[in-house]
Structures are given as structure tokens and as C-alpha cells.
Amino acid sequence: MRPNSSGEPAAPISSARTPARGAPILSPTRVSPCSPRRIVGASPFALALAFSLALGIPATTRADLWGYVDEDGKAHVATEKVDERYQLFFKGGTRVDPPDAAAVADAEAREAFRRTPIFQRMTAHSNVGRFDALIEQHAKLQKLDPALVKALIAVESAFDPAAVSPKGALGLMQIIPDTGLRYGIAGDKKRSLEQKLLDPAINVRVGTRYLHDLLALFADDLRLALAAYNAGEGAVSRRDNNVPPYPETEDYVKLVRQFYSLYRPPLPPAPKVTRIVVPGQRKVPAAPGAVLPSLDAGAASR
């Protein structure tokens, strides 16, 4: 049974796997679907996001990125030169790069990218920080990492609250009307269901609840939850809880996880353990931050 607009709890997520009247299973879908080698963005801002994605991947695993912006303002990004319109805009590392060379390449690429106009435009884009408080609020309510929600929004809509996909997915987290209904959102005299789903507060509330339920359904397996968010939980369940072999879904899971690693705060450095050698004594690790005795003092005491 679908929930009503009074805010009653949504039906268990498993009950919504099969839509009525044999309709195809749909899930929230990003505005810019991509093939295994291409990303098509809604604006040049999406190209900037692709840059940030590229710089968030270790040089030993990332590829070159090619791209162009078409007459409609859509950014196209690929891992190879698809045709003459594509120009190389990011040179990635290769798996045979020595570790030291890869680290140097990372530092140089990041510094060069910071000087580009597209990076300046990306960091100055008001939408990136505009929804931080909203994301934080609803992520905490659903016991989600805000960085994960932010990563999903980056891939789904490039932080565009008015984004509408060809499949009818709406807003920041690209919620389809059926999902909105499942979580108690319904149209009224003032606003239609679609208009409500374009409201960032409603959109993020529904999207985070849906993501929370998907993680619960798939035992906190992030890969499966993200695949279900893109392709529908039924598509994952029908394949014995595996990521469906759809190029778009496979690429979607990778993209969100890569953005997630980009947005997560860095872990604090592990405390250093210093080993000291005193003649005649066995080697012992010094406690982090401990004041070590000088070797001269040790020698004088013998």
C-alpha cells in the first residue's frame, strides 16, 4: 500500500519492487547518463565535476580524459577520443607509472588544475555549498554520511535543484514521482507532486530516506545500494544481489564512490612509532610522542 500525503511511514521497500500494471521498474536517474567511456553533463559545470573526479582518483588507476562542450552547453567527457570534437583536457597516469612519478604527477596535475578558469568557476559555484546544511540535516536523520549524500547529488544532478531527466527524475537527488509517493509526498491544490519534488528540502528528505532504506535492504552494501538507486532495487534482487551488468549502472556506482572518496574528510595521520636500539637491549617501540633517552645518556649509565 502506498503511503498518503499525511506523512504516514512508507511501505516496506521490498513491497515496491514490482510497479503496477507491468510498468518497468524505475529508480531515480541522474540527468547525465553515461556509457562506460562517456559522460554527458547538463552544463559546463558538469565538466568541472569531471575534472574534480579525475583529480580524486589515484594516478595509478585513472585514465586520460577527453571532452568538449556542445552548442546546447552540454559537457561531454570520455576516456578516449571518440571523434574529432573531443580534445584532451586531462592526462591521467598509467598502471606502469613508478610510485614516485605518480605522486609527482598528482601534485603537478592538482596545482595546474587549480589555476584553470574552470576550477575557479567550480569552486565559486554557489550551489556546491548552498545545500550543505540541508544535506547535513537529513543525512544525520537517516544515519548517513553527509559526504555520501553530497557525492550522490554531484553525480545525479551536479547540484542543480531544477534538474529534470528524460525519465522524469527530479531535483537534486533525481527522485521519480513513484518514489515520492512511496514516501508520503502527494500533490495538492497549491503544488503538484512534481513541483514538490523540485523543492530541495522535500527532495533531499525523500532521497536520503530512500538511500537509507536501500542500505538496510542490502545489508549496508554500498555498491548494491547505489546500483539499486540507479537501476531499481528489483534489478539488483533479480540478479541474486549483484550489481546489474548495465554499463550506465556500473559506471554510476564507480562515479558516486569516487566522489564519495573526494568529499570525505581525510583521515588523521597514524601516529608514528619510532624504534630505538640500545646496546644490550632488545628492540622496543617507543610510545607515540614519548621523549626518547639519548644514546649518550644510555652509554654513560653503563
Annotated catalytic residues are: 156
Would you call 15 exposed, middle or buried from its count of C-beta atoms within 10 A (0-12, 13-18, 19+)? exposed
CA dist 262 and 274 (Å) reads 31
Q: Return the sign of the alpha-carbon dihedral for residues 170, 171, 174, 178.
A: negative
The 3-class SS string of 257-286 reads HHHHHHHCCCCCCCCCCCEECCCCCCCEEC
CA dist 45 and 27 (Å) reads 24
Q: Could you tell me the three cell numbers for 94?
A: 598509467
Q: First and final CA of the chain: distance in angstroms?
A: 83
